[in-house]
């Protein structure tokens, strides 16, 4: 049964995390309820780490895992505090995230308090690719019903995925990777992208995948890139297909989500696309709700877009991203699009897309910032919600 596992060696703080998550879940909309929360701390946490380490040793020796279970198995969502201490030493939540990702059955890992302990918005938009958590948040954000799928207006960063969809899609990603392991199929092919796109990646983007991104396979990525398995595990040439699939699915999907997509000049998502090409909207362009309909984590044909006109440019394996996306370099050359064919007819909207609330607002009501992306589309906007900390503040003055 799917559950939410909260890990912290401090029982009091584990209870605080539990109460925050219950508050958010009660008002949110997701497949989970407060009754699905399980706390793991103390001896149970230590024992679980021991089991994960035994699995690691078995994988290094290419043996079957011991017949033991952990609370992290069985399709769980893992919430782990960064500051963990166990067995007389120090183990960070990052270490646990790595062990759980590689050697357990959890689908989604949320790291809390590693980079911020407050309700914050990341003005870089890039997140922390070095972390093995799929999403890094401050613990107060567990109270936010929009984090758990709530739809009421308010603070909800566009870079937050739908947790329910993420879990389902992660399983599909793992299946894709595992099916590719016996072959020499490159990563781009499994993602449903093109070799040309990978060959043209900026060096800062491509080096995460490997020396030659266009030919790198998931197996090679996991064992040789330095961004897959940790060096000690990679040196042992682990061949367990479940481990390799989980590593490849988690790391490459986070690369897509937090490095590639935020640029909006390699892949572009719906709200950023219609801000450039309003003619793609099918509804009343004078109604802001028509624009807001594009800023939903839904299927591409549910966003109020002329999807047939741009279908040839869509990233087909949609489950590799938390939202539909289109290949910008090909799309921007299509003369089927009014603004491409007749650029003098382009009409700029009266509103802009706000990255912190995932909706369009009048430009004069918003604040601009420059995201930390090497892209001509680095200028973005926020609604700037009270009681939320926007970091780093220098991004407002660039």
DSSP state letter for 325:
E
pLDDT tier, 345 (very low <50, low <70, confident <90, very high otherwise):
confident
pLDDT exceeds cutoff 70 at 88: no
Which element (helix H / strand E) includes 43? helix 42-60
Tens-place pLDDT, residues 130-168: 999 999 999 999 999 999 999 899 999 999 999 989 988
100 and 17 both lie in a single domain: yes
Residue 77 contacts residue 3 (beta carbons within 8 Å): yes
For residue 239, being part of any structural domain is answered with yes
pLDDT at 87: 47
For residue 143, being part of any structural domain is answered with yes
For residue 116, being part of any structural domain is answered with yes
308 and 356 both lie in a single domain: yes
CATH code where residue 30 lies: 3.40.50
Model-wide pTM > 0.85 = yes
Tens-place pLDDT, residues 272-284: 999 999 999 999 9
37 and 117 both lie in a single domain: yes
Tens-place pLDDT, residues 362-398: 999 999 999 999 999 999 999 999 999 999 999 999 8
274 and 229 both lie in a single domain: no
pLDDT at 30: 87
211 and 191 both lie in a single domain: yes
pLDDT at 293: 97
Here the tokens at position 326 are: 């289109």
Tens-place pLDDT, residues 51-70: 999 999 999 999 998 889 99
pLDDT at 192: 94
> Total structural domains in the chain?
3
Mean pLDDT is lowest, of 1-5, 55-59, 338-342, for: 1-5
Here the tokens at position 234 are: 């990679």
DSSP strands (E only) in the chain: 4-7, 37-40, 77-81, 83-84, 91-92, 108-112, 120-122, 135-137, 267-269, 325-327, 351-354, 359-362, 367-370, 379-382, 389-391
49 and 106 both lie in a single domain: yes
21 and 134 both lie in a single domain: yes
Where among 217, 240, 262 does a domain terminate? 262
Mean pLDDT of 236-254: 96
Residue 351 contacts residue 288 (beta carbons within 8 Å): yes
Where among 262, 287, 315 does a domain terminate? 262
* DSSP track, 280-296: GB-S-TTSHHHHHTTSS
| φ/ψ bin of 60: left (φ > 0), alpha (ψ from -120 to 50), beta (otherwise) | alpha
Mean pLDDT of 105-116: 93
Q: Which of 41, 35, 36, 33 is nearest to 15 (CA)?
A: 41
Residue 253 contacts residue 320 (beta carbons within 8 Å): yes
* Backbone angles phi and psi of 361, in degrees to 5: -140, 160
Separation of alpha carbons 1 and 293, rounded Å: 33
For residue 129, being part of any structural domain is answered with yes
296 and 188 both lie in a single domain: no
For residue 106, being part of any structural domain is answered with yes
Mean pLDDT of the chain: 93
39 and 63 both lie in a single domain: yes
pLDDT tier, 90 (very low <50, low <70, confident <90, very high otherwise):
low
Q: Is 150 buried (19+), middle (13-18) or exposed (0-12) by CB count in 10 A? A: middle
For residue 113, being part of any structural domain is answered with yes
> Where in the sequence is the domain holding 47, given as residue range(s)?
4-157
Task: Taking each helix axis as running N to C, give the angle between helix 42-60 and helix 93-103, from 0 to 180 degrees, rounded to the nearest 10.
Answer: 50
Separation of alpha carbons 18 and 34, rounded Å: 9
Q: What percent of the chain has pLDDT over 70?
A: 98
For residue 162, being part of any structural domain is answered with no
For residue 235, being part of any structural domain is answered with yes
């Amino acid at each position: 049964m799917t559950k939410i596992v909260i890990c912290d060696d401090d029982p009091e703080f584990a209870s605080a995390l539990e109460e925050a998550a219950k508050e958010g879940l009660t008002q949110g909309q997701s497949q989970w309820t407060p009754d699905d929360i399980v706390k793991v701390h103390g001896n149970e946490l230590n024992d679980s780490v021991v089991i994960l380490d035994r699995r690691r040793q078995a994988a290094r020796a290419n043996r079957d895992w011991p017949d033991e279970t952990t609370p992290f198995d069985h399709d769980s969502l893992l919430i782990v505090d960064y500051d963990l201490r166990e067995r007389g030493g120090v183990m960070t939540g990052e270490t646990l995230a790595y062990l759980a990702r590689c050697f357990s059955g959890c689908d989604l890992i949320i790291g809390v308090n590693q980079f911020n302990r407050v309700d914050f918005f990341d003005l870089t938009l890039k997140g922390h690719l070095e972390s093995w958590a799929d999403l890094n948040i401050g613990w107060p954000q567990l109270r936010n019903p929009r984090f758990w799928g709530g739809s009421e207006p308010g603070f909800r960063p566009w870079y937050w995925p739908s947790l329910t969809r993420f879990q389902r899609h992660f399983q599909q990603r793992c299946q894709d990777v595992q099916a590719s392991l016996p072959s020499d199929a490159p990563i781009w092919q499994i993602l449903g992208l093109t070799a040309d796109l990978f060959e043209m990646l900026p060096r800062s983007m491509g080096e995460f995948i490997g020396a030659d991104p266009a030919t790198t396979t998931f197996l090679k990525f996991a064992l040789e890139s330095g961004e897959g398995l940790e060096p000690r595990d990679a040196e042992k040439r682990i061949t367990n297909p479940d481990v390799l699939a989980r590593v490849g699915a988690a790391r490459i999907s986070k690369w897509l989500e937090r490095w590639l997509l935020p640029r909006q000049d390699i892949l572009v998502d719906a709200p950023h696309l219609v801000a450039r090409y309003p003619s793609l909207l099918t509804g009343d362009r004078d109604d802001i709700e028509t624009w807001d309909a594009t800023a939903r984590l839904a299927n591409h044909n549910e966003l109020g877009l002329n999807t047939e006109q741009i279908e040839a440019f869509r990233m087909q394996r949609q489950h590799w991203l938390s939202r539909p996306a289109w290949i910008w370099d090909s799309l921007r050359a299509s003369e089927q699009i009014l603004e491409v064919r007749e650029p003098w007819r382009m009409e700029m909207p009266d509103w802009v897309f706000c990255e912190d609330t995932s909706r369009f607002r009048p430009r004069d009501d918003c604040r601009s910032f420059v995201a930390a992306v090497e892209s001509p589309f680095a200028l973005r906007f926020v609604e700037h919600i009270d009681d939320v900390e926007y970091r780093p503040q220098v991004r407002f003055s660039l």
